[in-house]
Structure 1
Amino acid sequence: MTNNNKIEKVILVDENDKVLGEMEKMEAHLKGLLHRAISVFIVNSKGEWLIHQRAFNKYHSNGLWTNTCCSHPYPEETSVDAANRRLMQEMGMKAPLQEIFAFIYKEELDNQLTEHELDRVFIGFSDDKPEPNADEVSNWKYINFEELKTDVKNNPENYTVWFKKIYERVEEHLKVKT
């Protein structure tokens, strides 16, 4: 993947989010080094969550269902700017976003890759219909939380590892806000 014809890099950090340097994205995933990431959740006025199935050409977790969008901030880019950028790039949408929590996780994936991320989680509210990028998204839907929770419980293999780690925490945040 490239960013303006440059190698796409991630921001390496320690557990306290202190920047340690930069590394090419695939190398960081092969070595399992801790780096910054973002996850975005969009909820509509009916309380339904916008989730998507990752494109089948993605370098990991392809074909799995996950939150509205996710990615990594570029060096010198803030996490909220990265979240807004990816929401537009992946889903063709804009929405005001608010960071609701951050967490660290480390999981082995397919293709001998490891996700080791300090993931900042954002939420936004929109009734806009997404216009997804086919290179990123193979399918999408709005779904209510109870249906989603049942499907994740019955079919966990259909969802990304990070989504399964955070979707209930996002729901708890939404309950507090209402």
Structure 2
Amino acid sequence: MSAPATWDGSGTQEDLMYRDECIIVDDKDNIIGHDSKYAAHRFIPEQPGGMLHRAFSVFLFDDRNKLLLQQRASSKITFPSLWTNTCCSHPLYGQTPSEVDVPEDVASGAVPGAKRAAVRKLLHELGIPPEQVPLQKFKYLTRLHYKAADAFAENQSMTGGPWGEHEMDYILFIKPDAPVTIEPNPDEIDDVKWVNREELREMMGPSSGLRWSPWFRIICERFLDAWWSDLERTIESDAHEDFETIHEVM
């Protein structure tokens, strides 16, 4: 079943797990099909690593170069209560306009599908109006292929759990021209926080007791400090672009 063209994020989390369709890819990021979020995220004996599917991770910065973090809602089916980057989700199959990027989109770095999905989810999760985060302000940097079982979910009430992520993650930076309006959706987010680099290091230290999403930890360890310390060049130039490499962390 395709995701409806006028999808607005309505419905329960369980509704969306069955209704939303992820874009299924191989390890070279070639599209090989589509299936529900429910099917794609099941880590079960018949499918121990889930289905590899496209995702995106948005890093949104303000005029002081502070990064917006979110804490995922405790009611989330997957990875509840974890702190992570501004917004993390999936381009969907069947959307109008399309969120499916073809090879030419990826090779050029345009990735309009991933950017449209990011705008949609920034509105759904954080209440940020689309006009405050126009497509042309997003900077696509590279792709990350990782797999992580969900060791934190206590809600295994849906038939088919436990859960995990197996993603081809498109990393997107954005620094809007003006402050954004934030109205977090309580079904998606428990808390938000703007941080600088030092504040993030403190929050991620073992003494904080905070838990972090596996994809965010990988991005922090591999890339984030270099990109963030050079933020203007990262966003305004091709200095840190890498459209060809798929960074594997398995």
TM-score by length of 2: 0.66
2:183 is the alignment partner of 1:119: no
* Higher strand proportion: 1
Question: C-alpha deviations, 1:92-151, integer Å up to 9, x for none?
Answer: 223222112211001111352121100001111143241111111111110111111222
Unaligned runs of 5+ in 1: none
How far does residue 174 in structure 1 lie from its aligned partner after superposition? 2.7
Which of 228, 233, 246 is matched with 1:174 structurally?
A: 228
- Would you say 1:60 and 2:114 are equivalent positions? no
Mapped partners of 1:61, 1:54: distance in 2: 7
Amino acid in structure 2 at the alignment position of 1:172: A
Q: Alpha-carbon deviations, 1:41-98, whole Å to 9, x = none?
A: 1111112110011111111111111111111111141111111111111112232221
What is the percent sequence identity of the aligned residues? 33
Q: Distance in 2 between matches of 1:140 and 1:174?
A: 19
Q: Distance in 1 between matches of 2:163 and 2:231?
A: 36
- Does residue 100 of structure 1 match 2:141? yes
Taking the aligned partners of 2:180 and 2:19, their CA distance within structure 1 comes to 33
State the partner residue of 1:79. Answer: 114
Q: Output aligned runs, 1:8-157, within 5 Å.
A: 8-30=20-42, 31=47, 32-75=50-93, 76-77=98-99, 78-93=113-128, 94-95=132-133, 96-110=137-151, 111=153, 112-126=162-176, 127-154=179-206, 155=208
Amino acid at match of 1:19: I
The two structures, once aligned, show a CA RMSD in angstroms of 2.0
Residue 167 of structure 1: how far off its partner (Å): 2.7
Q: Which has the larger radius of gyration?
A: 2
Q: Deviations over 1:10-41 (max 9, x none)?
A: 01101221101011111111131110001101
Structure 2 unmatched runs, 5+: 12-17, 100-112, 154-161, 233-250
Counterpart residue number, 2:217: 164
Task: Note if contact 1:100-1:173 (Cα within 8 Å) is conserved in structure 2.
Answer: no
Task: State how many pairs are aligned.
Answer: 177
Secondary structure (helix, strand or coil) at the match of 1:87 reads: helix
